[in-house]
Structure 1
């Protein structure tokens, strides 16, 4: 039974039993506590936490998941993988233990002909929480399991909680006995390789007050409603039903191994080390495909770094298997052919995915070419010194200068029998980044304790949100908060959070900044600083008291600043226009990955692997303004998410949408259709103007366009006009001739600078003869020690070499010149052949002077150079030259 069929049977089974089919959420679900969705219940977390009310009582899903904590173990064992799929059924206050057990038992043991999986009931074992007699009895009654195949285990194994205060409860795990060839008898307690867990049924029934550890917590009391959360590992069931020994050999993964074997000429199963690499390739190629499918692009931080690491580990594993060609373009299509059966959007996005992967492989091949040799040199140097630890400085240099990721350095060091000073590396990284700013505002929307907001919502219902309908309304206060707690009043100048029964203010979302405005009350006025939705349905205003003292109870009049809203509408509609223009100019793979807009300004991030040409930027700007001139109608309507996708609407990667109702904004019909909850103009001409002000990289595979709209766009153009006017006046030319005139001036300036450089160099070298003539005799060696203030390293080296050339070549000679410019000291030593024969070395001279100058340096016996930061000891260093020459040259 292939994996797609296992997935289909799971969903069909629960749909027949009254469960709402919920599509897999994106791996990039908006949850700041998680880098990626890592469990099937994550999309339902707000329902279990009580932050939102579930729109259905029963649900079934097959959720994409990624876990990367054990990424180094992938391939070394057959149990660790980064991407996996969790089949789950959920009950929100509906059925409980009997229903969950019966549904699971029926599916796994029913015959294949009847739509089940056909597992042998005699090989099924279960575990329950120690002392949970009810669950033991239910397994006996419903499934007919004998007591000897029901084992009790402690909280560490059979109690589920989220690791924080909230819901929790005992769980019952279902195991399949693979047979004596896989381990000892005795059930899961004896051997979890032989007895493989395939399904976990969680019975959420308690509210936890404090959670100190997985098995150490305080129970506050029973939950108001009992819930069910289950998880069946799709890959585990697949390899059991397909008669394989591990997840790497199932139909969704093994074809990648087969392709890798074909490309490398190696055989899977013939060599243990090769097998690890084959499994790394299979896992990481599939995980990379799914992450790119959900909009992740390789980068140096967060999600982007995880993807980069996965792709680069796969590429390097192929190289270790002997394949030097481009690997991803060979392997990703194989994975696509299997994964698109369950996730058809992958095929639609294939062009973008393949472009992102190709760009990353190109970049990594360059990194490998430059960095591998440097690593080998560093490793050899470390070993030759008798050490076993690669220094943090060396690891940092590989990372900072050549883009070698630290995890790759760690892997290569391990293969070379070395370790890495990770603490030293991390310390240097911390010094470089200096990320000291902890802007509290950046944490808006994070899951802090939302309990107080949930209580307000439960007591008063959702806010009557009127942002689409009006700019002002009469309101009354529902709650007033300060520091997360209810307060009775706010004095003039104080800041707090105000919840209204109704509001016209737009709460920040979808990249659009919150509205500005005021809330008036009898005897005073509040300034609205920010507007957020900490829980769905509740709008919270951050306010500052401008006049009077504010206390809840008085009648309020909420007023959005109309100019602010107009500017916001122009900018948000402008973002959609720019996005459509991007796709028209660059092609359909140029998709938005993020945006921000406020009155008069917008920025749009999009997936693209190379910088745009000036002509492309001009074309995007022109297409945008042609759309404005065409006065395209702007409209919106509500529909289901599946209807919106069928209609061609574009959804932003990583955003969460309600499948029961989404808002689709269109500009000019099919030209621009996007899922969006923002405020917009009624016709494109109302945007006024769109002026693209910049295009730049914001990470590998991601670009950003910035633009001004409306009055701000005209103001930007006016400033540009004024600059052109001033320049034409200064240069006494016409605007059309301005570029040519400036080019002429630049060329003349460059020519003049070259002539000046020649004069300056001639003057510098003109003094060389006089300096050489003043050489000091030190034991028969001509020694010159000269100070050259105001000179940098290049001039110092030029003078030192010229002076050495003017010394008599039949006598030993040594020259040291030390310069000082812009707070930096540069020193160069030059020794002729006769001087070297007497034992004088330029390298030794520089090394001796370095500590005095606050630096270091080196080179060869004939020429060496160094630098430092302590100019106060230059004269002392010059005096040391004669001493060092005398010591080296003997008497």
Structure 2
């Protein structure tokens, strides 16, 4: 049975039993402390925890998930995978244990002809918590499973909680017996390789007051509403139903593995080392396909870094299999074809996905060349029997993206061992720093919303700001320092929750409205508006005068000028997006935006630098749309209908079943958008592009001023041009040529000055030779040159001094010079052959000196250069060199 068919059957089964089918959320997590969604229940957490009311009593989904904590284990075992799919059915205070057990058994054991999966009931086992006798009774009542195939286990296996105080509950897991060829008899307690877990039923029924560990916690009582959260691993079930050994051999994964094997001239199953690499390729290519499809681009941080790592590990694995040319143009289409039955959007969006992936592979192949050169240079510097330093392996990993196994492989080709312990020590230090940063981010990013959740129980905030900027409202609640308060007085900064509001809360890239909320005896200035929980608007205010109590009637008034400027900027964002697509093609897809009064910022996926001609064309098209005064229309449509109409959605954004569509000129610009807009394009005013730049691999950013701010910006440019024309005494049209001529004259003068300084510096060489001193059997010149034109001057003097010492027969000689160029210190060390034989290598000495300067450096044993940030530390840098030589 194909994987997509299992998914279809799952959704149909539960839909027939009253569950709302909820599309998979993006793999990009809404939780700021998570990079990716890691479980099927993530998008339902607000409903399961009671933070938000569930829009339906029961739901079902097949959620895309990405887990990266075990990325190094992928391929080494057949259990670890980066991307996987989790089938789930959920009840929010509706049904509980009995129905959950019944549905699971019916779906698993029901005949394939009737829509079930057709598992042999004689091969299924169940586990329950050892205190959950009720579940044992239900298994016996609702299924044909005998008591001897129900095993009781402890908290480690059969109790679920979040790791924090909150909801928790017993679990009941379903296992499939793969047979005696896979292990010993005795059920899951005896062997979890033979007895494979395929489904976990979580009975969320307790409120935990303290959680000390996975197995140690306190139960305060029962939850007011009991929930069901279940998860069935789609890939596990697929390989069992397809008669395969593991998830890498199912229909959605194996085609990539097979294509990789053919490229490499390998045969899967012949050699374990090759099999591991082929599994890495199959997993990572599929994972990258999904992640890019959901809007992530390669980068150096967060999700972008994970994606970059996956792509590079796949390319590196193919290289270790002997394939050095680009492989993704072959493998990515194979993965698309294997996955598009489950996710058709991968086919329709493949041009964008592939462009991003191929650009990253090409960049990595260039990086491989640079890293290979670094490795070769480092190997040449090693003495016989010496290991490649851990710091070199770490630099290869951190700077060039070389995993340690690639460094080991390449070093072995040179007959060199690697200081793995040193490398892993540096990696551990980096991980500790990353964990500390993540912990700090998590602490800072996790806001206590319990006060808002309690207020939400009294009803949502109705937003009427599309139609009016002023409204009478009731202050339903005051939140101060995270807690509900009854009163706020002048000078306080608090959050107000109203029953009705005309204020737009920040979302969709649009900044929040500002304005005033006033009433009898008080005035509050609105500073910001956010949605801490879905359906509730929190107005961050400063009480300007008077005293405000909860329950007070108030008048909420939006700053009309600021709203208009924000609407102009937001509509301008849509116009620029449409102009980009018209100019660059449909591959220029939105990757994010921000708009506020008078300013817009638009990020888009595109691999190339925007030419000046293209930039001018985009600006012209957007402003022509303004001049045409096109009507800006809005309508609400079901999500599927909106997408069929051509409305564009932002990748990774979570949309409801009914969406708001903003239409400007029909199909030319039609987007899903909840923001506020002008009524016709002429109201936007001029759009002036300020800049266009790269913000990451395959992602670029356009910034523009809009409306009156654009007019002001253009007026400033005109005034500046007039000033330049007067200063240069030429017509404004001749200013560029005159400036270019002056710049060339300045550059020529700078070259002449630099040459003069270099000649003067070299003339000092004779004086510096006289300062040579004997130290540790070495003739040493260690001097500070003061202000210099650049590092080239210092390097030229160091080489000249080394030659002079050689001509004088000084033997072992070291020249260490420092200087300050453009405010930054530089250090150069040159050594003679005799000095190197004594162990004094220029690269080692420069690293010591650079550390004192607050920077780093390196180079060859005979000549090396470094620098730093502290120009006052040149004395300490030279002292470090003297100590290294004198102490040896």
TM-score, scaled relative to structure 2: 0.89
Range with greater deviation from structure 2 (115-124 or 548-557): 548-557
CA offsets 1:403-434 (integer angstroms, 9 cap, x no match): 55789769989995723445545757999999
The equivalences for 1:470-619 within 5 A come to: 470-619=468-617
SS of 2:693's equivalent in the other structure is strand
1:341 counterpart residue number: 341
SS of 2:733's equivalent in the other structure is helix
1:225 counterpart residue number: 225
Cα deviation for residue 486 of structure 1 reads: 2.3
CA distance in 2 between partners of 1:684 and 1:727 (Å): 35
SS of 2:540's equivalent in the other structure is strand
Range with greater deviation from structure 2 (14-23 or 597-606): 14-23
**Residues 379 and 283 of structure 1: is their aligned pair in 2 closer, same or farther, counting only changes over 3 Å?**
farther
1:273 counterpart residue number: 273
Q: Contact 1:842–1:864 at 8 Å: present in 2 too?
A: no
Range with greater deviation from structure 2 (62-71 or 759-768): 759-768
C-alpha RMSD of the superposition:
4.0
Q: Contact 1:665–1:676 at 8 Å: present in 2 too?
A: yes
The equivalences for 1:297-336 within 5 A come to: 297-336=297-336
**Residues 143 and 547 of structure 1: is their aligned pair in 2 closer, same or farther, counting only changes over 3 Å?**
same
Cα deviation for residue 764 of structure 1 reads: 5.4
1:663 counterpart residue number: 660
Q: Contact 2:781–2:814 at 8 Å: present in 1 too?
A: yes
CA distance in 2 between partners of 1:395 and 1:189 (Å): 43
CA distance in 1 between partners of 2:866 and 2:176 (Å): 69
Q: Any unmatched runs of 5+ in structure 1?
A: none
CA distance in 2 between partners of 1:753 and 1:287 (Å): 53
The equivalences for 1:107-186 within 5 A come to: 107-186=107-186
1:99 counterpart residue number: 99
SS of 2:696's equivalent in the other structure is coil
CA offsets 1:634-691 (integer angstroms, 9 cap, x no match): 01111111111111111111211111x1111111111111111111000111110111
2:716 counterpart residue number: 719
Q: Contact 1:166–1:209 at 8 Å: present in 2 too?
A: yes
Q: Contact 1:129–1:172 at 8 Å: present in 2 too?
A: yes
CA distance in 2 between partners of 1:332 and 1:100 (Å): 39
2:729 counterpart residue number: 732
**Residues 348 and 872 of structure 1: is their aligned pair in 2 closer, same or farther, counting only changes over 3 Å?**
closer
The equivalences for 1:404-483 within 5 A come to: 404=402, 418-424=420-426, 447-458=446-457, 460-483=458-481
CA distance in 2 between partners of 1:744 and 1:456 (Å): 68
**Residues 606 and 105 of structure 1: is their aligned pair in 2 closer, same or farther, counting only changes over 3 Å?**
same
1:646 counterpart residue number: 644
**Residues 758 and 29 of structure 1: is their aligned pair in 2 closer, same or farther, counting only changes over 3 Å?**
closer
The equivalences for 1:775-814 within 5 A come to: 789-791=786-788, 793-798=791-796
SS of 1:490's equivalent in the other structure is strand
Q: Contact 2:782–2:878 at 8 Å: present in 1 too?
A: no
CA distance in 2 between partners of 1:411 and 1:748 (Å): 53
Cα deviation for residue 751 of structure 1 reads: 2.6
CA distance in 1 between partners of 2:435 and 2:729 (Å): 47
CA offsets 1:370-409 (integer angstroms, 9 cap, x no match): 2134346657978967669x43x43553356545578976
Q: Contact 2:843–2:859 at 8 Å: present in 1 too?
A: no
Cα deviation for residue 842 of structure 1 reads: 10
Cα deviation for residue 224 of structure 1 reads: 2.2
Cα deviation for residue 557 of structure 1 reads: 1.7
CA distance in 1 between partners of 2:305 and 2:723 (Å): 47
Q: Contact 2:515–2:525 at 8 Å: present in 1 too?
A: yes
SS of 2:489's equivalent in the other structure is coil
CA offsets 1:767-798 (integer angstroms, 9 cap, x no match): 778999x89999xx999998855445544554
Q: Contact 1:533–1:539 at 8 Å: present in 2 too?
A: yes
1:626 counterpart residue number: 624
Cα deviation for residue 47 of structure 1 reads: 0.8
CA distance in 2 between partners of 1:270 and 1:437 (Å): 44
CA distance in 2 between partners of 1:184 and 1:828 (Å): 67
1:678 counterpart residue number: 675
CA distance in 2 between partners of 1:861 and 1:457 (Å): 69
Cα deviation for residue 339 of structure 1 reads: 0.4
SS of 1:631's equivalent in the other structure is coil
CA distance in 1 between partners of 2:756 and 2:865 (Å): 25
CA offsets 1:43-85 (integer angstroms, 9 cap, x no match): 1111111122222222221111111111111111111111111
CA distance in 1 between partners of 2:569 and 2:550 (Å): 35
Cα deviation for residue 755 of structure 1 reads: 3.7
Question: Greater Rg, structure 1 or structure 2?
Answer: 1
SS of 2:532's equivalent in the other structure is coil
**Residues 11 and 717 of structure 1: is their aligned pair in 2 closer, same or farther, counting only changes over 3 Å?**
same
- Residues 1:710 and 2:679 aligned together: no
CA distance in 2 between partners of 1:309 and 1:795 (Å): 40
CA distance in 2 between partners of 1:663 and 1:498 (Å): 27
Range with greater deviation from structure 2 (521-530 or 635-644): 521-530
The equivalences for 1:368-387 within 5 A come to: 368-375=368-375
- Residues 1:247 and 2:247 aligned together: yes
Cα deviation for residue 212 of structure 1 reads: 2.2
**Residues 413 and 514 of structure 1: is their aligned pair in 2 closer, same or farther, counting only changes over 3 Å?**
farther
Q: Contact 1:841–1:862 at 8 Å: present in 2 too?
A: no
The equivalences for 1:27-66 within 5 A come to: 27-66=27-66
CA offsets 1:351-386 (integer angstroms, 9 cap, x no match): 001001101101111111221343466579789676
CA distance in 2 between partners of 1:110 and 1:326 (Å): 46
Q: Contact 2:828–2:846 at 8 Å: present in 1 too?
A: no
CA distance in 2 between partners of 1:782 and 1:161 (Å): 69
**Residues 406 and 449 of structure 1: is their aligned pair in 2 closer, same or farther, counting only changes over 3 Å?**
farther
CA distance in 2 between partners of 1:6 and 1:852 (Å): 61
Q: Contact 2:168–2:206 at 8 Å: present in 1 too?
A: yes
CA distance in 2 between partners of 1:74 and 1:553 (Å): 57
Q: Contact 1:471–1:504 at 8 Å: present in 2 too?
A: yes
SS of 2:691's equivalent in the other structure is strand
SS of 2:533's equivalent in the other structure is coil
CA distance in 2 between partners of 1:815 and 1:209 (Å): 68
Q: Any unmatched runs of 5+ in structure 2?
A: none
CA distance in 2 between partners of 1:808 and 1:142 (Å): 94
CA distance in 1 between partners of 2:876 and 2:38 (Å): 61
**Residues 757 and 100 of structure 1: is their aligned pair in 2 closer, same or farther, counting only changes over 3 Å?**
closer
SS of 2:725's equivalent in the other structure is helix
- Select which of 735, 750, 754 maps to 1:753: 750
Cα deviation for residue 819 of structure 1 reads: 6.3
Q: Contact 1:578–1:620 at 8 Å: present in 2 too?
A: yes
Q: Contact 1:581–1:620 at 8 Å: present in 2 too?
A: yes
- Select which of 630, 633, 636 maps to 1:635: 633
**Residues 156 and 417 of structure 1: is their aligned pair in 2 closer, same or farther, counting only changes over 3 Å?**
same
CA distance in 1 between partners of 2:850 and 2:42 (Å): 61
CA distance in 1 between partners of 2:223 and 2:282 (Å): 43
Cα deviation for residue 716 of structure 1 reads: 0.8
Cα deviation for residue 132 of structure 1 reads: 2.2
- Select which of 677, 690, 694 maps to 1:693: 690
